[in-house]
């Protein structure tokens, strides 16, 4: 494998991704195009002919446990010729060192930072003080990398995004926030079935509604899962209790008891609906084995697409576009 030949930079080069709303629909589409090409090549060869991230280093600053986010970013960097450094207990943001000082150190060592933490303000402070791209790998407010993989998966399944209906069954959490913003950007109808008291952030909803008003999409809310999923193309769920909410486990289990994605709910959605879950799944709670492992499930393709979507993102943020030879065999881009 050889390093990629230098070419024109991506318009996203050097940008932060703190919220999925930081990118336009056209910019997200560019990530999808890159991810689709990388996925096709990797599935065929299990390698890449060029290494657009050769010599690049990603700091992975994780304050929360992770399977998919850690492995897909680390594997993605390796597969594209770069390197990832996993930092967990080595760095306690705001304790051993201030967030500002961590940012100022890391910007001199590495090419980008992916952060997985609780308060969204921590990621924003890192980005404000680091002169390199900062990627939100999960905060309590948003999970934009998950939304990229989600929409890439739906796009692969249906060949489009505009006009499709996604019904999220659960609470208005970080995954819903990013999904609603991304779906609204692309003209999708994003629905939420949630128990009373578990509505999403009002500012996120207002931003998503503004996007939807321009794209032809929409947001709807309800407390009856069977009504909300009726006619949906995608039924999406997440764990009832997220990290940091463990003290609320029993209370949430009672509140969400009627919000399980099971065979009956999928029948209400319709025979052509597919099911998605960002994982980890609590089997027998928010989703049954029959649905998670059944023929309507896109969950494992969705999980795999974390790798491909993030590889597309990393190349757009850090890499250079290879220059294709012209018909005479000479390199273009002169």
Comparing CA positions, the residue from 45, 22, 6, 71 lying closest to residue 181 is 22
Both structure tokens of 87: 């930092």
Q: Got the DSSP string for 275-312?
A: EEE-S---BTTTB-HHHHTSTTB-HHHHHHHHHHHHHH
Both structure tokens of 88: 């967990």
Both structure tokens of 228: 């909300």
- Identified catalytic residue from 120, 191, 238, 296: 238
- Identified catalytic residue from 116, 155, 252, 277: 116
Could you tell me which residues come within 8 angstroms of residue 140 by beta carbon, excluding any fewer than 6 positions away?
Answer: 118, 119, 120, 174, 244
The answer to whether residue 108 is catalytic is no
CB-based burial of residue 327 (10 Å sphere; 0-12 exposed, 13-18 middle, 19+ buried)?
exposed
- Identified catalytic residue from 63, 79, 146, 296: 146
**Contact yes or no for 179/170 (Cβ under 8 A):** no
Could you tell me which residues come within 8 angstroms of residue 271 by beta carbon, excluding any fewer than 6 positions away?
Answer: none
Could you tell me which residues come within 8 angstroms of residue 102 by beta carbon, excluding any fewer than 6 positions away?
Answer: 61, 91, 93, 126
Q: Got the DSSP string for 58-80?
A: EEEEESS--SHHHHHHHHHHHHT
Alpha-carbon Rg for the chain in angstroms:
20
- Identified catalytic residue from 15, 34, 141, 143: 143
The answer to whether residue 306 is catalytic is yes
Q: How far apart are CA 183 and CA 163, in angstroms?
A: 10
Residue count (the chain): 334
The answer to whether residue 116 is catalytic is yes
- Identified catalytic residue from 79, 141, 194, 278: 278
- Identified catalytic residue from 177, 306, 308, 310: 306
Helix spans in the chain (H) = 25-45, 68-79, 99-109, 120-129, 144-158, 174-185, 202-215, 225-229, 249-255, 263-269, 289-292, 299-318
Active site amino acids: 116, 143, 146, 238, 278, 306
């Amino acid at each position: 494998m050889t390093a990629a030949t230098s070419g024109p930079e991506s318009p996203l080069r050097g940008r932060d991704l703190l919220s999925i709303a930081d990118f336009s629909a056209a910019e997200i589409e560019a990530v999808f195009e890159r991810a689709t090409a990388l996925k096709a090549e990797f599935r065929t060869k299990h390698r890449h002919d060029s290494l657009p991230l050769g010599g690049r280093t990603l700091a992975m600053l994780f304050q929360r446990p992770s399977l998919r986010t850690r492995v897909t970013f680390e594997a993605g960097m390796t597969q594209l010729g770069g390197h990832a450094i996993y930092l967990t207990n080595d760095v306690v943001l705001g304790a051993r060192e201030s967030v500002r000082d961590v940012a100022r150190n890391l910007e001199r060592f590495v090419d980008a930072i992916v952060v997985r933490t609780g308060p969204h303000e921590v990621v924003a402070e890192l980005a404000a003080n680091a002169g390199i791209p900062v990627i939100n790998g999960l905060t309590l407010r948003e999970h934009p990398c998950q939304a990229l993989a989600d929409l890439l998966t739906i796009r692969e399944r249906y060949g489009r995004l505009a006009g499709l209906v996604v019904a999220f069954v659960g609470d208005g959490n970080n995954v819903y926030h990013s999904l609603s913003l991304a779906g609204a950007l692309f003209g999708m109808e994003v629905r939420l079935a949630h128990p009373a008291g578990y509505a999403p952030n009002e500012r996120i909803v207002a931003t998503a509604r503004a996007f939807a008003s321009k794209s032809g999409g929409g947001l709807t809310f309800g407390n009856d899962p069977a009504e909300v999923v009726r006619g949906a193309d995608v039924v999406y769920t997440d764990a009832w209790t997220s990290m940091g909410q463990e003290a609320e486990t029993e209370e949430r289990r009672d509140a969400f008891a009627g919000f399980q994605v099971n065979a009956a709910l999928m029948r209400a959605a319709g025979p052509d609906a597919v099911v998605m879950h960002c994982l980890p799944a609590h089997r027998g709670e928010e989703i049954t084995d029959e649905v998670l492992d059944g023929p309507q499930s896109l969950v494992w393709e969705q999980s795999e697409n974390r790798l491909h979507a993030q590889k597309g993102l990393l190349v757009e943020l850090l890499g250079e576009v290879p220059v294709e030879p012209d018909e005479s065999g000479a390199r273009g881009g002169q």
